[in-house]
Amino acid sequence: MAIYPFIFLRDKSLRDNPKIIHHEKIHLRQQIEMLWIFFFLWYGIEFLIRWIQFKNPTVAYFNISFEKEAYANEIDFDYLKNRKFWSFTKYLS
């Protein structure tokens, strides 16, 4: 879990997983772009909308635009160098 400027991991072994760290760094960038508080407001509202839409909290989580962007790019370690401002919006559908 990322809460700017920190990344919290379930256990220490995950520190050595570059995919997970990069995924969370994408979230940190999203939070910076949205001035932190708006990220969490948007995240919560979109989660509720997706939960109503899919009637399943796990499916809702994986369909949040922020998560879709992070999962789609977590193995592209150059992604943050080239990422455009508010790129998560192309994952809203």
Backbone angles phi, psi at 71, to 5 degrees: -65, -40
Question: Which tens digits make up the pLDDT trace of 38-93?
Answer: 999 999 999 999 999 999 999 999 999 999 999 999 999 999 999 999 999 999 98
Question: What tokens does 32 get?
Answer: 């910076």
Whole-number pLDDT of residue 93? 87
pTM over cut 0.85: yes
Give me the pLDDT at residue 26, please. Answer: 98
Cα–Cα separations (whole angstroms), residue 7 to 11, 20, 28, 50: 12, 10, 8, 25
Beta strand pairing call for 6-7 and 2-3? antiparallel
pLDDT per residue as tens digits for the range 2-37: 999 999 999 999 999 999 999 999 999 999 999 999
